[in-house]
Amino acid sequence: MENTENKDNLLATINNPNDLKKLNRQELPLLSQEIRDKIIQTISQNGGHLASSLGAVDLAIAVHYVFNSPSDKLLWDVGHQAYAHKILTERKETFCSIRTFNGISGFPKISESAYDSFGSGHASTSISAALGFSCARDLKNENYNVVAIIGDGSMTGGLAFEGLQNAGYLKKKMLVILNDNEMFISQKVGAVSDYFAKIVTAEKVQKTENKIMEVINKFHSLSAPFEKFIRRAKTMFSPGMLFEEMGFAYIGPIQGHNINNLILILDKVKNMKGPVLLHIITKKGKGYEPAEKDPVKYHGIGKFDIETGKSFSVKNTSYTQIFSEVLIKLAQKNEKIVAVTAAMSEGTGLSSFAKTFPDRYFDTGIAESHAVTFCAGLAASGMLPVCAIYSTFMQRAIDNVIHDVCLQNLPVIFILDRAGLVGEDGGTHHGVFDLSYLKYIPNLIIMSPCDENELQDMLKTAFSVKKPCAIRYPRGAVTGVDLSRDYNILETGKAQVLKEALDICFLAIGNQVATCLKAAEILEKQTIKAGVVNMRFLKPLDENLLKELALKIKNFITVEENVIIGGLGESVKSCLCNSGVNVECIGIADEFIEHGDVNILREICGLTAENTAKKAFELLKKQITAF
């Protein structure tokens, strides 16, 4: 690897896209390698989305060479592939801080830079947003280009196709670049398709096509069939018929790592009228052999050794792993159990299930809404579907959870991985809303385990109740309890008293139970007897226990790694509103939490044993003062 800090290199001369345009085109491949080196060096120390960004370096250079950002609007779908974009747009010096607390975000972010036209983090949004920019431009009589850059994985999301069909109908001038690195559309790459792409972008071809259509349109009875014939004739040599039928001019596929060729084609594409889709083929992990060989592993990776590619992350047992192992054991005993995820087989732990039961595993692609309704269909047909999706991504399927699953009271089990604060991916990925957005749905049982044993029990319980259930748990290592005992079926809606209260009582759910137990130990040293209740269920809430406790204890503190609005705290306050007790709530405030080490974020949010103990001490002190 080359030293990217060398003052004589090309990257040292680039601070913004205007500097990039001063280079001659023969220098761009060298710049591309220097950017890849910088990305590899930084992500090896910080972790991040490596393979996708390496694959899109050449594209980022070509796009910024041709278009005039930030006047022209560049929208990067998801943002996994936007690291080179950040380096080229005045963030080269701060790139070393990416994904760290107070550093730059791992995703495009409007508040971070004028070059980030639209924030992203969830997939399939770029085309719809780009169409919004295009319509606003025309309404305001402005003149700029709009470019949506979307990966083939994001094209599996229904929102992308909703955007495509609307853009094709409105016929606004905009460019969609499909960055294809997983053979989403059959590949046809090489000199012939590159040559064909150059031909169909030539002004003569466009003018000829327009003149032919002008003549044909004079014969109204013939215009529709002839227009369809011309479109199909254009796409005989490429796989773009679908996009042409949706109203887009389709170009490609072309090789995505030939920067000069990309520039030639983009130069011509940007002058085309109406919506255009440019299909390019890239290699995920390009320029770093370990990532090229295993792009799944290096899609999102922690710190690693550059020479060997070996990760420095310690592989502790996680809730995800426990879920995976238990589900396989239960599925071995019940052939009706099936597993569904939305392009997250590795992240949700279902890859092992897929290997064990290939016929009972389904990956819907990045299509959470479809995944949920698909599960509803499975359940209505007598199967027992488990739908494993990250908490943040389940937000995209709320209507389906309500209308297709819970309204019909179908036994779908929702597994919400990465619940709570997730760390370096930041606001787009924190799973801090699920307790709130699920709580208001009738027929849905909501659980959160305090440890891995309880996760096993809750999964067993979910299969036994034959109702819609949601189980949410955090990212990261489990608590380390003994797993040798058999699974238990929990009494639905029943909480567990872990420590008897005398002065004050903590009511906690999920991973915050352990926080409260530590807080109780801190208070004991100050001769304060604090109780701890593992609520287990947000819904149904154990109202009987709460009211019993309220007869003996007058001070309660709820603790949850979820937004306070709509969460456990509000439910407890509602239950005890006429009991004459004091209820304080600890959780996520009404604001979006930035990215950074999860321990730093919990400290900021007050989700630590020390802060919880302090809150209890202050509440008791206030009561004594008032008395």
Cα separation, 47 vs 24, in Å, equals: 33
Cα separation, 25 vs 29, in Å, equals: 8
Closest among 112, 71, 78, 119 to 95, alpha carbons compared = 112
Strands (E), 109-231: 146-151, 174-180
Cα separation, 445 vs 221, in Å, equals: 60
Query: Could you say which of 368, 452, 561, 570 is catalytic?
Result: 368
Cis peptide before 225 (omega within 30 of 0): no
Cα separation, 352 vs 540, in Å, equals: 32
The answer to whether residue 485 is catalytic is: no
The answer to whether residue 270 is catalytic is: no
Residues 6+ apart with CB under 8 A from 307: none
Beta bridge partners of 74: 147
DSSP 199-221: HHHSHHHHHHHHHHHHHHHTSHH
Cis peptide before 253 (omega within 30 of 0): yes
The answer to whether residue 396 is catalytic is: yes
HSE toward the beta carbon, residue 330, CA cutoff 13 A? 25
Query: Could you say which of 38, 284, 418, 439 is catalytic?
Result: 284
DSSP 444-489: -EEE--SSHHHHHHHHHHHHHH-S-EEEE--SSB-------SPP-P
Q: Contact, 283 vs 59, CB < 8 A?
A: no
Catalytic residue annotation? 284, 368, 396
